[in-house]
Structure 1
Amino acid sequence: MINAADAAKGRLTTVWNDLLEGLRHRELWLFLGWRDVRRHYQRSVLGPLWLTLSMGIMVAGLGVLYSQIFKMDIAEYLPFLAIGFIMWGFIGGTITASCSVFSGAAGSIRQIRLPLSVYVYQFVWSQLIAFGHNFIIYIIIAVLFGINPGFQVLLLLPALVLMALNGMFCAMILGPLCARFRDIPMIIASIIQVAFFMTPIIWSASQIPERAVFVNINPFYHFIEIARDPLLGQTGSLTNWLVCIGITIVMGILALTFFSRFRSRIAYWA
């Protein structure tokens, strides 16, 4: 008889092979990810640039309003707000959309024999494309306000890698879970909405120094900071980076364990 340890090891091996096989299909999921973004804006003049326009209008409006409320120079506050919105759009949008990774591809999963990781890679790639469109807002603001982040901007790359990895891990957990329990996406959407206001995006963490613990226990804060600081010419704190790396490791372990346990049931749940 096969004991539980051997069975778990076998499932982990299957998942690892699935992830590697999915990488070999990169031409497929690169195409499908781009198609997903374009499909949302079919027959529109600007296409995916509507993502940029809608967020740009929101950032400009809130920037003018809250710079007055917080009594801050708009040249300082608007870049802070814009980067926060761009990064939250990537983080929050990835978590929310990860709920439909497998349920949204139910037809393909049932009809076409492909590694399930293809749908995960496709999803993460489409989120990165959307982020790329929104990043145009930062470029415009950097030109208008003369922001020169210097070589620190290169730290954005490892920050994006950590975010993309966590997005993939979220899809491996929430994708099967939400396919099985269809109420969970609404719960996740509500949590993300509350988390937006609890995270220093519109407001700054320096405005509540006496409540530093409240900010530091918010994982979204650390991911926002490791991306926002390089874009403002700073390196970010070591604490932010260590917390994000630690979260990524934990999420990776949880994702591999969960996905290996329920991977075989996804086709029935989707």
Structure 2
Amino acid sequence: MFDVYKELWTRRRMVHTLSLHEMKREYAGTLLGFAWGLVNPLMRIAVFWFVFSIGARAGRPVDGAPFFAWLAIGMVAWFMLNDGFRSSNKSFRSKRSLIKNTPFPIAVLPAVQILYNYYMHLILLVVMLVVMAFTVDSFSAYWLQILYYDFAALMLLLGLGSVTAPLVAISKDFGRFLDTVLVFLFWMTPIFWSIDNLGKYAAIIKLNPFHYIVQGYRDSVFFKVGFWEQPLYTLYFWVVVFLLLILGNYLYKRMKPIFLDIL
């Protein structure tokens, strides 16, 4: 039933090697090299912090957590989700020359893009946590829980990438539609605002699996809440991931002959 993911596991070393190659290719010829993986997200965090904390005068602590630190951790989680989803759903179309000209195991391409973005995410995450260890009095063993949420995010992205990559390979319009969906998800995921402000409508936002990851980061860093303390929400998240993985495996096998002809 999970033939695609069995192939991924069999070729896991290839996925790792190709993801590192993507990192080298992306920053080849630049003066700062991998440092650009830090400069761009840190500049975006700074701009949003200025707009929402200074310009909008909305920089009050959130449940006791400093607004800037709370915002920064949410943004770090979002960058991983956004970049991983955006690159994985375009993985077949962006590598069409490779697919058409070589006998390449194309099933691994979404995972390669996801892992590449995750490695860049780790650099940013480590820098951010080091800064917070010296500036925010929240360091605890719960920080280790971020590893669980990273694994959960990778599995979610793999499911989403497996579902959307074949569809984007067939239709450029679907790729543009997904870009619009990501903008919508950005503002509907509680990154700049607290879900507590929604009252009874908070349950609707929690249907967005991206919220599970973003809130999980904040629970780990600031609020000392374990994922096991919300078993129903955790179960819901993994059911969604499982269904995405099943659907992704099905779509890949059914649509592979079609998008290979179109690319």
Q: Is TM > 0.5 for Structure 1 vs Structure 2?
A: yes
Task: Tell me by how many angstroms 1:161 deviates.
Answer: 1.4
Aligned partner of 1:39 among 25, 30, 54: 25
Larger Rg: 1
Aligned partner of 1:196 among 186, 190, 201: 186
Superposition map of 1:66-77 within 5 A = 66-68=52-54, 69-73=57-61, 76-77=66-67
Task: Tell me by how many angstroms 1:65 deviates.
Answer: 4.1
Q: Which residue number corresponds to residue 247 of structure 1?
A: 240
Q: Which residue number corresponds to residue 39 of structure 2?
A: 53
Q: Which residue number corresponds to residue 179 of structure 1?
A: 169
Task: Tell me by how many angstroms 1:72 deviates.
Answer: 0.8
Task: Return the letter of the residue paired with 2:257.
Answer: S
Aligned partner of 1:235 among 209, 216, 226: 226
The count of corresponding residues between Structure 1 and Structure 2 is 256
Unmatched tracts of structure 1, length 5 or more: 1-11
My pick for the range that moved more, 86-95 or 230-239, is 230-239
Superposition map of 1:74-153 within 5 A = 76-153=66-143
Cα 1:137–1:61 shift into 2, 3 Å: farther
RMSD: 2.3
Cα 1:124–1:71 shift into 2, 3 Å: closer
Cα 1:115–1:22 shift into 2, 3 Å: farther
Cα 1:234–1:147 shift into 2, 3 Å: farther
3-state SS in 2 of match to 1:208: helix
8 Å contact from structure 2 (residues 90, 169) kept in 1: yes
- CA offsets 1:126-172 (integer angstroms, 9 cap, x no match): 12112112213422431342344422222222221121112112221
Task: Tell me by how many angstroms 1:249 deviates.
Answer: 1.5
My pick for the range that moved more, 111-120 or 157-166, is 111-120
Aligned partner of 1:259 among 233, 252, 261: 252
Q: Which residue number corresponds to residue 148 of structure 2?
A: 158
Cα 1:71–1:93 shift into 2, 3 Å: closer
8 Å contact from structure 1 (residues 223, 240) kept in 2: no
8 Å contact from structure 1 (residues 92, 192) kept in 2: yes
Cα 1:30–1:217 shift into 2, 3 Å: closer
Percent identical among aligned pairs is 17
Distance, in Å, in 2 between the alignment partners of 1:222 and 1:22 is: 25
Distance, in Å, in 1 between the alignment partners of 2:213 and 2:133 is: 25
Residue 225 (structure 2) pairs with residue 225 (structure 1) = no
Unmatched tracts of structure 2, length 5 or more: none
Task: Return the letter of the residue paired with 2:15.
Answer: W
